[in-house]
Each structure stands twice: as C-alpha cells, then as structure tokens.
C-alpha cells in the first residue's frame, strides 16, 4: 500500500493494477512481456517481475528494485562517512555543491564524529584503533597459564606428527636460524640443533629444548611465535583451547564497528595466533569486528619504527588518527614517538607503571 504513493498520480486510497510477468535470465529478454503488459493495462505505470522487482514507467522502463538498492547504498555510505568525520557532501562542484548548504546536519560545517567528555567538551573518535592483546583485550593469566604451557607441553608431539609438512619445515628453518644467532650471542638456554642427517628424533629433541628455554624467557621472536601459533591451531581445532577476552571487549568492538572505526590487532604473537584467539572466544567469533592483524614482522613493539610502519600501512592522513591501546609503558612511548595517540590499559594482573608516566589510563574499553 505504501508503494502506491511512489507511483506518480496515485495516493494512499487509490487503486493501482500492477500486471505480473515471469522473470528471465537477462533483463533485455523482458521486452516482449513488458510490451504485452503495457498493451493489456495501458493505465498502469508499473509492472511486477516475479522474484525480481518492480519496473516503473518514466522516460524509460527502470528497475525500481535496483534504484532503491542504489539509494540504500548512498544513504548508508553517507552515514558511514559522517561517522568517520568525512564530509559526505564533497566534491565541491556539480549539482551536489548547490545542495550543500541545505544538507548540513545540525548546522555543523564539518561532520566530524565526536564524543562527549565529562566536562561537556567533545573529542573526535579515532579513525583507527590498534589493540594489544595480553593485558589489554585478554588477561595475562590466559597467556601465561594456558597458552604458553599448552605450547610447551605439546611441542614435541606437534613436531613429531607434522614434521614433514611445509608449515613445520618452515618453522624448523626459522628456529635453526634463531638458535644459530643465539649461540653466537651466548643467549642462555640455546643448544645446537643437529643436521637432518642426525635423524628426526635428535632434531626434535634439540628443538624442544630450545623452544622450552624461549618460552620460559618469554621471548618475543618470530621463530617461536610462528611455531606456537601452529601448535595452538591444533588445540583450538580439537576444542582443547578457547580464547578469553574481557567482558567489555565484545561490546566495544561492536560499537566501534557500527561507527565505522577500523580496529586492528598488534601483538607479539603471530597473526595466526591472533586470529585463533579472536576466532573462538568465550564471547564467540569476534573476527568480524577486526580489520587486520600485525605481529613482530612489522617490528618490535617497543620500537618507534614499528608504529611508523603500521601508520603507513593503514593509510591514514596523519598518525594521530590512530589510537593505540596497550598495557606496556614502553610500547605506548614508542607509539607516541611515531605520532599515534596512546592510552594504557589497567587490568587485574598487569605490571606496574612508572610514576608520572604521562599517559591516559583506562580500566575498560567503555572509557574509550
């Protein structure tokens, strides 16, 4: 009934006869059927194509379904642009320009998304948010008391069962390279890994010894993190592991997603390990709210260059469009050095912070 008002010359109480024709594989094949419908119902200004949509007669026959979908897309795009702080009425030429003054929202000259502060002032939302995992989205205890022990206890079994697979052979290659460097530098716990000629069991025994030492030292190195990710993948697949996130995390991710804010993860764990944690959590699969993952392949989390790399990868206009959330003071300092905004997460079990550290702190994502 409401659609009748969309047909020129008709109102709510008018009667409109709409002929129905069968759909075809291609729109141009509707020509004959449309012509017969027009001839049979000359007063009708619309034809319904079964399982497709309404065709409306104007200067030509147009698909009202397609037209409506275009409007939905444009309105949705305008809202998302507005939420992201972009002026959706750009460009500054053509017919759009003539309507700019009448389409301002609440008199604002720029449509930046803003959040109310406690004192009544407003702050713009960030364009992107980059989250640490351990101590930020996830309790440190889950990593130290669940993930690390699982990897340590299963490294030998994993290597034995998957020894000849491409993933494991690549992991062994990375570990060999790391151990060679560790031996040269005299890193405690490093032991030589024999060549393949020594036999599979000898190689695995040496790998297990090195990995155990690396895990105990909580080393943030790619060789270890890649292997751990593959071990954890098996654990998640067998329902032996489930990721844990704080209760405020899912709601915040959903809110930011609705506002058009891109959310990324930056962790010392491999990208695979990150996807596994958020893919199967105590709050379900949260990956739909995440736009990407960064690991130590972009650099050490305590080095400013790493955050410069992330900023360039995200393609923002300026680094300060990115908010980085972490529980580690040195990481926040490195991010600030690259021009990012940074806040420090205060969660139960997190380490102490230096006095007068100068960063804003939060105890829940609801404070962002």
DSSP per-residue string spanning 40-67: H-TT--EEEETTTEEEEESSSEEEHHHH
Give the model confidence (pLDDT) of 274-291 as tens digits: 999 999 999 999 999 999
Q: What is the model's pLDDT at position 309?
A: 94
Give the model confidence (pLDDT) of 309-334 as tens digits: 999 999 888 999 999 999 999 999 99
Give the model confidence (pLDDT) of 223-254 as tens digits: 998 999 999 999 999 999 999 999 999 999 99
Which residues lie closer than 8 Å to 301 by C-beta, 6 or more apart?
A: 132, 220, 266, 267, 268, 326, 328, 331, 334
Domain boundaries along the sequence of the chain: 2-84, 128-139+244-367, 141-238
Return d(Cα 55, Cα 39) in angstroms, integer.
15
CB-based burial, 117-152: b 16+ in 10 Å, e otherwise: eeeeeeeebbbbbbbbbbbbbbbbebbeebbeebbb
CATH of 128-139+244-367, one of 3.40.50.1000, 3.40.1280.10, 1.25.40.10, 3.40.50.11540: 3.40.50.1000
pLDDT bucket at 72, cuts 50 / 70 / 90: low
Q: What is the model's pLDDT at position 122?
A: 46
Instruction: Tell me which residue has tokens 């000359």.
Output: 42
Axis-axis angle for helices 200-216, 148-162 (nearest 10): 160
* Closest by Cα among 274, 338, 341, 270 to 309: 338
Most confident of 30-34, 96-100, 119-123, 288-292: 288-292
Q: What is the model's pLDDT at position 45?
A: 62
Q: What is the mean pLDDT of the chain?
A: 82
CATH number of this structure's domain 2-84: 3.40.225.10
Topology at the third CATH level for domain 141-238: 1.10.720
Rg (CA), the chain: 29
Return d(Cα 197, Cα 174) in angstroms, integer.
18
CB 51 within 8 A of CB 25: no
| Residue 238: both structure tokens together | 């067998």
Q: What is the model's pLDDT at position 17?
A: 75
Name which of 79-83, 86-90, 168-172, 264-268 the model is least confident about.
Answer: 86-90
251 among known catalytic residues: no
| Residue 148: both structure tokens together | 């690390």
* Over residues 41-56, mean pLDDT: 66
Angle 310-311-316 from CA coordinates, rounded to 5°: 140
Q: What is the pairing mode between strands 122-124 and 114-116?
A: antiparallel
Which of 2, 15, 39, 355 is catalytic? The answer is 2
Residue 119 pLDDT > 90, yes or no? no
Total-model pTM: 0.61
Q: What is the model's pLDDT at position 26?
A: 75
pLDDT bucket at 269, cuts 50 / 70 / 90: confident
Residue of higher predicted confidence among 103 and 299: 299
């Amino acid at each position: 009934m409401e659609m009748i008002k969309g047909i020129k010359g008709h109102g709510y109480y008018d009667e409109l006869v709409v002929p129905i024709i069968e759909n075809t594989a291609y729109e141009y094949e509707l020509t004959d059927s449309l012509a017969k419908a027009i001839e049979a119902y000359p007063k009708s200004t619309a034809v319904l194509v079964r399982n497709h949509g309404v065709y409306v007669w104007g200067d030509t026959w147009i698909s009202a379904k397609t037209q409506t979908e275009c409007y939905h897309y444009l309105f949705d795009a305008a809202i998302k642009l507005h939420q992201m702080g972009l002026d959706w009425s750009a460009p500054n030429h053509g017919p759009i320009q003539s309507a700019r003054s009448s389409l301002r929202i609440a008199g604002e000259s720029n449509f930046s998304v803003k959040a109310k502060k406690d004192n009544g002032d407003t702050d713009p939302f960030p364009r992107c948010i980059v989250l640490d995992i351990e101590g930020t989205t996830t309790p440190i205890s889950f990593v130290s008391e669940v993930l690390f022990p699982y990897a340590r206890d299963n490294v030998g079994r994993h290597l034995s069962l998957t020894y000849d697979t491409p993933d494991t052979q690549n992991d062994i290659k990375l570990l060999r390279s790391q151990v060679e460097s560790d031996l040269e530098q005299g890193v405690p716990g490093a032991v030589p890994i024999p060549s393949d000629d020594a036999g599979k069991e000898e190689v695995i025994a040496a790998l297990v010894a090195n990995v155990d030492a690396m895990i105990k030292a909580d080393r943030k190195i790619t060789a270890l993190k890649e292997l751990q990710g593959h071990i954890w993948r098996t654990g998640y697949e067998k329902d032996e592991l489930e990721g844990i996130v704080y209760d405020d995390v899912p709601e915040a991710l959903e809110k930011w997603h609705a506002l058009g804010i891109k959310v990324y993860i930056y962790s010392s764990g491999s990208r695979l390990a990150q996807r596994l944690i958020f893919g199967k959590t105590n709050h379900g699969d949260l990956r739909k709210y995440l736009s990407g993952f960064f690991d130590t392949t972009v650099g050490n989390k305590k080095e400013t260059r790493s955050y410069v790399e992330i900023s360039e990868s995200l393609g923002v206009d300026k680094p300060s469009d990115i908010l980085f959330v972490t529980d580690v003071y040195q990481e926040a300092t490195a991010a600030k050095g690259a021009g990012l905004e940074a806040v420090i997460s205060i969660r139960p079990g997190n380490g102490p912070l230096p006095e007068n550290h100068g960063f804003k702190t939060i105890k829940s994502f609801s404070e962002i």
